[in-house]
């Protein structure tokens, strides 16, 4: 699957409460992928995977087909992607309506490179085109099959990665969102039967393991982590766009940023005439 290799500004739409939390606490919440806005979040890509495998079954042995199906449909028992949803478009009416208090909120622009290099996460742009999705799946299956014939142990590790990456193929009805995800993969501790964050390293610093929290929504418990975004000598937040219906002025936002040591942020008003 494709990751972002160039530096982009990634926008997170939110209400004023979330904006203040990000400014004050310098953290982004990454949440369980199973509770996103798309009701077919995991099913869509897995259905397409099965369809692609069936349509091309003569390209693969039965043993490989069984192995890759097992990897895809058992991955949830061992790994859980915790994600943050961003957009390549920082001033989109549908996003203001859905995620930013009906236009009264904000769009926060982050540096993709600094998030990737310093926060211990991966960044994946969502693929929406079904033809492209099928091609991606088939190419990955061919690569995995070639590996399967040579080295089964390496195949197992990469097949898990393939199973996780299917999460970044999404129903084309959501294409307007131009979504990009930042992802932290947590793993199941077999002894405690609980998911844990294992930390790691980045290009900038050591990433310490983070506690996994739970919050309740509509009677369901949602796992999440609080991802620190404070990187010394680096400016992660680049821009804040004030929603089209918000009455808050740019000077007020600048004062909040200054009070919390966040400098050199471009602040502007949405250009959308929405009220």
Look at residue 239 in the predicted model and tell me its pLDDT.
96
Kindly indicate the confidence band of residue 69, based on its pLDDT and cuts at 50, 70 and 90. Answer: very high
pLDDT digits (tens, 9 = 90+) for 180-230: 999 999 999 988 889 999 887 777 777 889 999 999 888 888 999 999 887
Tokens 């309740």 belong to 216
Is the pLDDT at 4 greater than 60, yes or no? Answer: no
Kindly indicate the confidence band of residue 133, based on its pLDDT and cuts at 50, 70 and 90. Answer: very high
pLDDT digits (tens, 9 = 90+) for 149-180: 888 778 888 999 999 999 889 999 899 999 99
Look at residue 37 in the predicted model and tell me its pLDDT.
65
Q: Which of 100, 114, 38, 134 is nearest to 240 (CA)?
A: 100
Look at residue 119 in the predicted model and tell me its pLDDT.
85
Name the pairing type of β-strands 237-242 and 266-269.
parallel
Look at residue 203 in the predicted model and tell me its pLDDT.
74
Look at residue 34 in the predicted model and tell me its pLDDT.
86
Is the pLDDT at 232 greater than 80, yes or no? Answer: no
Look at residue 151 in the predicted model and tell me its pLDDT.
80
Look at residue 235 in the predicted model and tell me its pLDDT.
81
Q: Which of 88, 114, 87, 95 is nearest to 227 (CA)?
A: 114
Look at residue 2 in the predicted model and tell me its pLDDT.
46
d(CA 173, CA 197): 33
Q: Which of 128, 123, 175, 167 is nearest to 9 (CA)?
A: 123
Dihedral Cα 10, 16, 18, 21, nearest 10 deg = 110
d(CA 163, CA 55): 19
Q: Which of 22, 4, 30 is nearest to 183 (CA)?
A: 30
Phi, psi of 84 (to 5 degrees): -120, 135
Percent of the chain clearing pLDDT 90 (strictly above): 67
């Amino acid at each position: 699957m494709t990751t972002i290799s160039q530096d982009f500004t990634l926008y997170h739409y939110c209400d004023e409460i979330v904006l203040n939390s990000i400014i004050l606490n310098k953290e982004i919440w990454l949440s369980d992928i199973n509770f996103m806005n798309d009701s077919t979040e995991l099913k869509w890509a897995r259905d397409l995977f099965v369809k692609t495998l069936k349509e091309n079954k003569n390209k693969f042995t039965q043993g490989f087909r069984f192995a890759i199906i097992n990897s895809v449909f058992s991955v949830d028992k061992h790994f859980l992607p915790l994600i943050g949803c961003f957009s390549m478009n920082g001033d989109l009416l549908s996003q203001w309506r859905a995620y930013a208090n009906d236009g009264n909120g904000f769009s926060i622009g982050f540096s993709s490179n600094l998030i990737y290099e310093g926060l211990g996460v991966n960044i994946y742009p969502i693929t929406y085109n079904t033809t492209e999705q099928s091609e991606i799946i088939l190419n990955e299956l061919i690569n995995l099959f070639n590996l399967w014939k040579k080295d089964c142990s390496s195949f197992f590790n990469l097949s898990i990665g393939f199973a996780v990456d299917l999460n970044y193929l999404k129903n084309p009805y959501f294409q307007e969102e131009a979504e990009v995800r930042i992802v932290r993969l947590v793993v199941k501790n077999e002894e405690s039967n609980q998911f844990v964050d294992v930390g790691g390293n980045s290009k900038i610093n050591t990433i310490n393991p983070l506690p996994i929290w739970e919050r309740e929504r509509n009677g369901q418990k949602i796992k999440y982590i609080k991802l620190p975004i404070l990187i010394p000598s680096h400016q992660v937040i680049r821009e804040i766009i004030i929603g089209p219906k918000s009455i808050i002025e740019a000077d007020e936002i600048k004062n909040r940023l200054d009070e919390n040591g966040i400098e050199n942020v471009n602040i502007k008003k949405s250009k959308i005439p929405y009220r």
